[in-house]
Amino acid sequence: MTSGPGTTSGPVFLGDPDGLGDPDYFGRATPPRGHVAGLAFTDAEEAFRLEARQWLAAHSPGRLPSMDTPEGARAHRAWERELASARFSVVAWPPEYGGRDASVVDWVLFEEEYYAAGAPTRISQNGISLLAPILFTHGTAEQRDRLLPAMADGTTVWAQAWSEPEAGSDLAALRSRAARDDARGGWVLNGQKTWSSRAPFADAAFGLFRTDASAARHRGLTYFLFPLDAPGVTVRPIPQLDGDPGFAEIFLDDVFVPDRDVLGAVGEGWRVAMSTAGNERGLSLRAPGRFLAAADRLLELWHDRGADPALRDRVADAWIGAQAYRFYTWDAVDAADRGHSTAEGSVNKLFWSELDVALHETALDVLGPEQEVAGAWTDDYLFALAGPIYAGTNEIQRTIVAERVLGLPRGDDRRARG
């Protein structure tokens, strides 16, 4: 991939709301799928994109039953196995773990094709997008060899076990604890986790536990991995508005975890967890393909329902937002290649989560009274509403942006000077 002046030959949408009444307007103003203004892809990258597009066209089952149901969870696991058999499950991973050793450019291209094909949501997302990057950075070779292949093909589905009744966005307030058990060579976990995504149908979980009660809030924490069928673990599903249990409470009563399932150093869990949170807020969880595909579907819906001029600007804003996020992502890819990583992941999270809600609210308004009937747009809207909450609420993210990106003083500093 290269970037810079002179690398684009296609048109760029610069914003002309008056033209939106023409059904062919976006067809003329939008570059062909795969084209990114200002970027040029290598022949190998374009060949990979085409391979992915053709395979997905031939194999994608489309929208599967909700993975928050037993039937849907089984269907999604089967899809993970099919992806893995073609080495499309985790394209950026090394071959020994089921990947293709693809570049981050290839990964983003694959994500664009994946969502454009309408392929299913990934039930393995917690594992492959959040836990795996931490295993590559902080895990041992034994942990990677043992955990990654089963993660890649959907054999092991992972749940997040971070939040607690008194520790959500303020994760450092957690009370769950781990006590050393030298006789058995491990730790004994006790406590409660809540809002654990994928937990009702998952196999294992990852989360933080306090191993040193005398240490400061952000210290004395350790990152543990544990099976959800271990003795002493109770998973209590939490029904959502639609009745399906997308989350669960996890109760741990004297749960033994061996030393081999400690991720990173003892007492260094906060640093490891923040690496995971960075992945959730940034590039690895919300690639632009998801929003590009949704914006294209919104545009098609708007035209099919008569292109109501009262909604024209909102449709345009959603489409422009998806394209802007795409450009942001390619800039982030370039930054990652240069080893650059900052709190700007919080800026990213703010943008995509609010774009997601606005885009789906617009779709529901296009549908009119039909929005009251359950369907794909309604389901996706309900999911979008969670975006400003998980991975640290957007209120917390704005504080991070203010202090760590913009360099503004902390609130208590302002009061002290007042």
For the annotated catalytic residues, the residue numbers are 280
Kindly report the number of other CB atoms within 10 A of residue 8's CB atom. Answer: 16
User: In degrees to the nearest 10, what's the CA dihedral of 33, 39, 43, 47?
Assistant: -30
Residue 360: name the closest of 304, 398, 322, 303 by CA.
322
Tokens representing 389 are 């909450």
Question: CB–CB of 315/20 below 8 Å?
Answer: yes
Sign of CA dihedral 215, 217, 219, 221: positive
Residues in the chain: 418
Question: CB–CB of 209/224 below 8 Å?
Answer: yes
Whole-angstrom distance, CA of residue 235 vs CA of residue 92? 32
Tokens representing 264 are 């990173």
Strand 186-193 relative to strand 158-160, pairing? unpaired
Report residue 390 CA to chain centroid gap.
10
Sign of CA dihedral 112, 114, 119, 124: negative
E strand or H helix at 201, and its extent?
none
What are 262's strand-pairing partners? 224
Question: CB–CB of 151/124 below 8 Å?
Answer: yes
Helices 344-367 and 312-337: crossing angle in degrees, nearest 10, is 150
Whole-angstrom distance, CA of residue 194 vs CA of residue 389? 14
Helices (H), 282-343: 289-304, 312-337
Whole-angstrom distance, CA of residue 148 vs CA of residue 132? 7
Whole-angstrom distance, CA of residue 282 vs CA of residue 289? 14
Tokens representing 320 are 């422009």
Residue type, 347: V
